[in-house]
Structure 1
Amino acid sequence: MSVYKPSAARKTGTSGRRAALLAGCAATVLLTVTACGGGGGTGGTTNKDGFAQAAQNDGALTVWVDATRMDAAKQYQASHPNAKLNIVSYDGDANGSNYLQTKVQLFNRTGKGWPDVVFSSQNNEASWAVDAGFAAPLNKGLIPDATLSGFAKGANDVCTVDGTLYCLRNDLSQAVLWYNAPLLKKFGYAVPTTWEEFQALGEKVAKEHPGYLVGDAGDSFTPEIYLWASKCGANHITGPKAVSVNTTSESCTKMAKLLDTLIKNKSMSISGVFSTDFAKNEADKVLLMPGPAWYGGAVFKDGLKTPAKQIAVAPIPQWQGDTSPATGNVGGGTWLLSKHSSHLKAATDFLKWVTTDNAYQGEKAPGFPAYAPAAENWLKAQAASEYYASDLTALKDASSQVWSDWGSGQFSQEAIWAATVKPGITQGKTIESMLPAWQDSIVKYAQADGYKVSK
C-alpha cells in the first residue's frame, strides 16, 4: 500500500534548512535528556485507536530528529521538565538517504529499537512506513479532529493512505521568487511575473551586469523548484503503486530550455546554494532566486549572510496565458509516531506540541508551519524581525498553489536528479537533451520500488 495521489500542497525542505540537514548525516548521536523513572508496564497488547498497541510504560520517550529540529526537541524538554526524553540526532533522510527505512527494516527483524517519534525531511515516508508496520494511524483517536482541522488545506495529504492519516506535516516549503529589492531598484529592473519575463531579464542581466544571478540550478532539488512549477508531468502518482512519467511534454521542455539559456549565459549558477563555492563567490551576486519558503532564513540570512532589508519575496512567475497559478515545493518534512511505541501518551503529546504549538512553530521554526494558526503567528514573527524588505504575503498565497500532480512516491526525485541530470549539467550538457534519460531513470527507480508506470 502506498500514498494515493499525495497532494503537492506539502511542502518545504525539506523542510527546514537544507544546509543543516547535510551537516549531521554521518553518525547517529544519542543525547540522553532523561529524568529518572521506572517501568510500570500495563502488560499485553490492546486494540485501540485503530491498531494493536504495545504494553505501555512510563520509560523515556525516544525521539529522532535532524540537526535543524534538534532545537525543537530541546525546547520541548525545557518546557516539559518532567518529560523523559532520549533525543537522537540523525540525517533526517536528507536527499532521500533512506536511513530511516533501512533502520526500521533492521528493527523489524530484531523486534526492538524503533523510535517512538521521528522527524523526516522527506514527504514520502508514508509510502513505505505503512506497509512496514511502523507508522501508527493518527486520526483514529490519537490526534483530535479539532487539531487536525487546523492544518493547511491539503498539507497532510502526503501522509494519508486510503483515508487514514499516518504522519503530520511539519512545515510547507512552497516555492516563491526571492529577490534583492535595493539591487533590483538600482539596476532599474522590475520583478518578473511571467517565466517569459524571467528569461528576458536573465538575458538582460547577462549582458548589462555579468556575474549577477537570477537563479541557481545546481542543487538536487532543482526540478522541484522549476519543473514542478512548470507543471511538468514527471512525477504524477495516480494510485497505490502507480505513477505516470512524462518528462518530454511542452511543460517540461520549455522550462528546460529556459534553464539551459540562462545557464549558458551564466546568469544562472550551477554551484548549488549550499556549496562553499556559491557562498564564497556568488553570495552578493544574487538578484533573483526562485526557491522554497525556507530560503529566506536558511539561505539568505544564515547561509549567505545577506544583510537585513535587502531580501524581498514575490509570487513565483507563471507561464504567459496560464490562468491557474502553480508552484513547486522543496521538502517540508513530516513527523511519524511508531505503532511499536510503549509510551503513546507521551509520544502523542510531543507530536501535537512540535507540530502545532506557537512556542516552537509560531515563534522559532525556520520554515512556514503546516499548522495554519501557527503559520499566522510565524508570519508576524518574521515581520517583527525586520529582516525582510517586504511583507511575506507571497508565502501565504503560494501555500495553496503547489501543483497537485507532482506526487510523493517512495522513490526520491532528488536522488534521481542527482544521479542522472546534475552530473551532465556540470559536464556542459543541456537539461533539454537529458530529459529522456531523466524519464528512463525515474521509470527504473519507480519499477524497482514496485510501481506500475505509465507514460
Structure 2
Amino acid sequence: MKRLLILGTATAAFAIVLAGCAGAASDPAQKPELVIWTDATREAPARAYAEAVADDVDVTVELKDNFVSDIALANRADEGWPDLLFTPNPNDIAQFRDPANGFAQPLGDLITNDVLEGYGSANVSCEFDGQTWCLKNDLAQSVLWYDTVIFEELGLEPPSTFDEFATVADELNAAGYLSGAIGSTVLQYGFLNSSGCTFSDVDPADNSIEIDASARECVRVSETLQPLIDSGAFDTRSPFDAEFIAEVGQQGKVAMQIGGSWWGDVLFAPAENWAVPPGRFAAAEMPIWDGNDVAYSGQFGGGIWVLSSHSEYKDEAAAALEYFISDPSVIEESPTIPAYEPALAIWQEKAAASDFLAENPTDVFAVQAQRLQPAAQAVLFDIQGAALSEMTASVQAGESLQAGIEKFAISATQLAEEAGYSVE
C-alpha cells in the first residue's frame, strides 16, 4: 500500500492512503501494533505520534543507544525487532541493509515517488544498488561559516574555491585570526570528503572500494592545507575541545570555519561553547576544489529512519516514517535541519525568527543539501574511527597531513578487507 504524504496532523498522515502494492499480510480485524526505537532527542515526537494515532494503532516507543548491537541481539533471538527505528548514526544503514543482517526493508513499494523525489539528492546516503534503504531525517552537511564583522573589516569575501580559501586564510592569519580548528572529524568530513577522498565509495557490482592516498582527490587536500597548518592558520585541536573553546573560540579568534550546518545553535551560540555574539556569524556555500564540477559537502552526521523487513505492519510503519520527516509539529521543534526539502519551508520560518546569525542560512543549507558527496557511502566498518586514530592523530602529533592520509588509507584497507570488501 502506498500513501499520499500530507503535511499536517499525525492522524491525517496516517489516514489518507492510496491503494497500491499490498504490504505484509496481517489480520484486518486486529488493531495494528508498532514498536518504534529512537534516541532521547526523537523521543518526544515519537510519543506524540503514539498518542495522536492511539485510536487506530498501538504504538510503543522504546529508547535505545546502540541500535546495531540491539538489532544483532534481536537477530540472534529471532524476535524483538522494532517496526521502525531512528538512529543518529547514518553509517548504521550499511549493517542493516547487509544480507547477513537483513533488518532494513527497501522502501520503494512503501513510500511514494513524490516523497522520494522530495529529497532531491539529500537522501543519497540511504540509496544503494538501486534501492532506497532508509530516509534521512535531518541534515548535517558541511558549510563555510564565517564572521561577517571580521570579513567586512578586512574587506574580504567568502571564498568560492579552495584556492581562494587558502588565500583568505593567509590574510586572516596575518591579521591575527584563525581559519578554523581541524581536529575531530573536520579533516575527514569538511575537507577530504568534499574533495572526494572518502575511502568509502562502494561499487555494488563487485563489493569493491577504491582506497588510494595518492589519488588527486586526496593529494590536493594535503597540498592545499599543509601550508596553512605549517603557518598556524589552523588550530589542530577539535572545535569542541574545552581548551580550544576557552583559548580561541570564546576569544573571537576564529574568522572562518568549515563545519556542520547544525554548529550554529550547538557550537557557536551557547555561552558554554564559543559564545559568539549575535549577528556576527553567517553560513556560505562550500568552496569548490579545483577539478571538481560541484562544490560538494561532507556530512557531520544526520540521522536516518529505517523500516523493518520483519514488521507485520509495514504500511503503518511507513505512515509513521512519513509523519516524522514532514509533520510541521515535528519540524518546528526539531533542533536540526530537515532533510526532506518540502519541510525546509517550515524550518525556514524558525530560522528567520532567530537573531543569532547575521543572515538566514536556509538558502545555503538548501543548496548544499543537494550537493552531498555521493562517494561518501555507509560502509561495514568504522571509517570515522580510522580517520580519527590515524589521520587526525598524526596531524596533531606534528606529522604531515599527507602522511596522515596514507596511514588512514592503510587502516581503512585493513578494515575494509576484514569486512568483506575487495580493495582496489
The structure-2 alpha-carbon separation of the partners of 1:52 and 1:224, relative to structure 1 and needing over 3 Å to count, comes to farther
Pick aligned residue for 2:360 from 391, 405, 410: 391
Q: State the alpha-carbon separation in 1 of the partners of residues 282 and 378 from structure 2.
A: 30
* 5+ long unaligned stretches in structure 2: 1-20
> Is the 8 Å Cα contact of residues 35 and 82 (structure 2) preserved in structure 1?
yes
Gaps of 5+ in 1: 1-47, 92-98
Is the contact made by 2:142 and 2:300 (CA closer than 8 Å) also made in structure 1? yes
Aligned residue for 2:259, secondary structure, equals: strand
**CA RMSD between the two structures:** 2.8
Specify the code of the residue in structure 2 equivalent to 1:147.
Answer: V
Shift of 1:227: 0.8
Structure 1 window deviating more from structure 2 (127-136 vs 320-329): it is: 320-329
- Residue correspondences, number: 395
AA matched with 1:222: L
- Whether contact under 8 Å (2:24, 2:313) holds in the other structure is no
Residues 368 and 375 in structure 1, CA contact (< 8 A), matched pair in contact too: yes
Q: Distance in 1 between matches of 2:165 and 2:124?
A: 32
2:191 maps to 1:226: yes
Shift of 1:323: 4.4
Q: Find the partner of 2:378 among 390, 397, 408.
A: 408
TM-aligned CA deviation for residue 337 of structure 1: 1.6
Cα drift, residue 324 of structure 1: 3.6
Query: Can you list the C-alpha shifts for 1:262-296, whole angstroms capped at 9, x where unaligned?
Result: 33333322221222223322223221111122222
* Contact 2:134–2:305 under 8 Å retained in 1: yes
1:145 aligns with 2:113: yes
Could you tell me which residue of structure 2 aligns to residue 355 of structure 1? 325
Q: How does 1:370-449 map to 2 (within 5 A)?
A: 370-392=339-361, 393-449=363-419
- The Cα shift of 1:197 comes to 2.1
In structure 1, the partner of 2:259 is 291
Q: 1:105 to 1:282 in 2, by over 3 A?
A: same
Selected match of 2:227 from 219, 236, 261:
261
**Counterpart selection for 1:365 from 334, 338, 341:** 334
Moved more, 422-431 or 160-169: 160-169
Please say if residues 55 and 342 of structure 1, whose CA atoms lie closer than 8 Å, have aligned partners that are also in contact: no
Q: Percent identity?
A: 27
More off after superposition, 442-451 vs 331-340: 331-340
Are 1:68 and 2:37 matched, yes or no?
no
When the two structures are superposed, what TM-score results if normalisation uses the length of structure 2? 0.83
Cα distance, 1:399–1:156 mapped onto 2, change above 3 Å: closer
- Which amino acid in 1 is paired with 2:398? G
Moved more, 339-348 or 351-360: 339-348
Match of 1:179 in 2: 146
Pairing partner for 1:217 from 182, 188, 206 = 182
Residue identity opposite 1:258 in structure 2: T
Question: Does the alignment pair 1:248 with 2:214?
Answer: yes
Distance 1:433 1:186, change over 3 A: same
What is the one-letter code of the residue matched to 2:199?
Answer: A
- Aligned partner of residue 69 in structure 1, secondary structure: helix
Measured at CA, do residues 167 and 326 of structure 1 come closer, stay the same or move farther in structure 2, by a change above 3 Å? closer
Q: What one-letter code is carried by the residue in structure 2 that aligns with 1:424?
A: S
In structure 2, distance between residues paired with 1:262 and 1:351: 44
Letter in 1 for 2:79: K
| CA drift at 1:172 | 2.7
Q: Alignment partner of 2:333: what SS?
A: coil
